[in-house]
Structure 1
């Protein structure tokens, strides 16, 4: 799969971004942190884009991404990084119907089944956290997933545009949206750790992830790309257990395995197609 060269770094940095952003939020309020994150990320991408585009679609995309990022950051104040990752990845269940409504992208059977099974894994994982998960943090994070699904579909809609231009434009414009909101709950206690957290979140966890996500959505349908992303919360959960952030139990592992089953099932047509091609090639050479 050509998409793997984009998916693998997305999984690695996507899994780590939750920890860096969570730590960064201990030094700054969510809207201030996100304003700086978007501005630094957009500025870093500007030399590659060479221009900023402001039109109706980019403005709508910006409103969707900022709503998603703002809700995610506020939710991170109440939940652990792995919990945020798992709840955020309810996103595929929302993205498939939104893609049908906006793009008329009719979902394939195994994409839908894979998304449902992956969501079942999220549910099992969530139940394993019952009694420990903040209700407010959970609601904010799931709302973030709805907006994430929406801007994911918009990325697909804007697939004819250069990803560098799209992301530079929405990040610089988004930084202004967050800047206007910074007086809300303003808090700032900078340190060297904060600088490291911010730079990771802005560059590797922001610009790079937005760019990779955009590129993958130019290559494949919304249903296929979003279901594959279930691999991020699985990786994030394992990282959190290794670092002592959370302690996983049997139900947690069952949930993660179910998510992986959803990913595999969503790619069933492609996997079996490759097997058939290999079988035919082998038969011809024998």
Structure 2
């Protein structure tokens, strides 16, 4: 996602990516004769599409123009922290001591990451990008809650395909508004980035994610996402050559550890649906 910004604007890429993903899934639905979702579910699919695909990835891609890839992955995958907070209100979970401890650690980690840029770097563009990515994490958490409340029972293939389709339409509108007429370079590399993120990271992995949300509890599902910022930090250093300050490393470690503490030590005594 970070590398493709050398070839096109963030919204344009997102249209290519999720358009490719949606077409892949709709073709699969047609081959498998899975049919269309019930009419009363369309409004819920539109909401999830706007949140999960439209808002999350529009905000992330725009923010990544100013924020390094490794830091972006940590900020975006603070999602389980926000999911834990929303689950208390919406899914009836209990806020146990383990969850409170994990949330406090995670929030301190976010303050360490954001605080250095706010108080020392003082670059408005970087701060704006970071806040956009945190907002994306909040939108993703809200999407998870909405899915659990409104869309459980539908086939995950249908949910993934149609929410991605509606989200792509929303991003397309933003692209026309924000990037109309801007150059797009379609090369072997940029086409590979589109296909990799569209077919694998979107069509396949989004479907797997909705399957996880339907078959296992929210705690276990969100815990698995801890690997993303770990690999994000490693690959951004290895492939993109990004350097990390002590505050980023310490803050990232606190966010990841805090999520793990909240999920592992908060799960045995928590009550509710997740």
* TM-score, length basis structure 2: 0.80
User: Which of these residues, 261, 264, 268, is aligned with residue 267 of structure 1?
Assistant: 264
Q: Which residue of 1 aligns with 2:238?
A: 242
User: Does 2:70 match 1:96?
Assistant: no
> What are the within-5 Å matches in structure 2 for residues 164-183 of structure 1?
164-183=157-176
User: Which SS does the other structure have where 2:241 is aligned?
Assistant: coil
- In structure 1, what is the Cα distance between the partners aligned to 2:196 and 2:92? 36
Does residue 1:151 correspond to 2:143, yes or no? Answer: yes
Query: For 1:229, what is the secondary structure of its paired residue?
Result: helix
Partner of 2:104: 116
SS in 2 for 1:230: helix
1:51 aligns with 2:35: yes
Q: 1:109 to 1:57 in 2, by over 3 A?
A: farther
CA drift of 1:58 comes to 0.8
Which aligned pairs between 1:1-286 and structure 2 lie closer than 5 A?
A: 21-49=1-29, 50-53=34-37, 55-65=42-52, 66-127=54-115, 131=121, 134-157=126-149, 158-183=151-176, 184-186=178-180, 187=182, 188-265=184-261, 266-268=263-265
Say whether the 8 Å CA contact 2:12–2:179 is kept in structure 1: no
Deviates more, 1:147-156 or 1:42-51: 42-51
Q: CA deviation digits over 1:110-162, x for unaligned, max 9?
A: 23432332333343344566528711211211111111111122232323221
Going from structure 1 to structure 2, the CA distance change for 1:114 and 1:218 (only over 3 Å counts) comes to farther
CA distance in 2, matches of 1:214, 1:23: 27
Q: Structure 1, residues 22-76: CA drift from partner, whole Å, max 9, x if none?
A: 1222222222221221121112122443334352211111121211111111111
- In structure 1, distance between residues paired with 2:9 and 2:240: 25
C-alpha displacement of 1:175: 1.9
Q: Distance in 2 between matches of 1:97 and 1:269?
A: 12
Quick one: distance in 2 between partners of 1:60 and 1:257? 33
> Alignment RMSD, CA only?
2.7
Write the distance in 1 (CA, Å) between the matches of 2:260 and 2:158. Answer: 33
Q: Which stretch has the larger CA shift, 126-135 or 260-269?
A: 126-135
Structure-2 change in CA distance of 1:144 and 1:261 (3 Å) = closer
2-structure distance, mates of 1:163, 1:112: 32
Offset from partner CA, 1:196-245 (integer Å, 9 cap, x none): 11111112222223223222222343344335423321221122222353
Q: Check the 8 A contact 1:111/1:224 in 2, yes or no.
A: no
List runs of 5+ in structure 2 lacking aligned partners: 269-274
Given that 1:42 and 1:172 are in contact with CA atoms closer than 8 Å, whether structure 2 keeps it comes out as yes
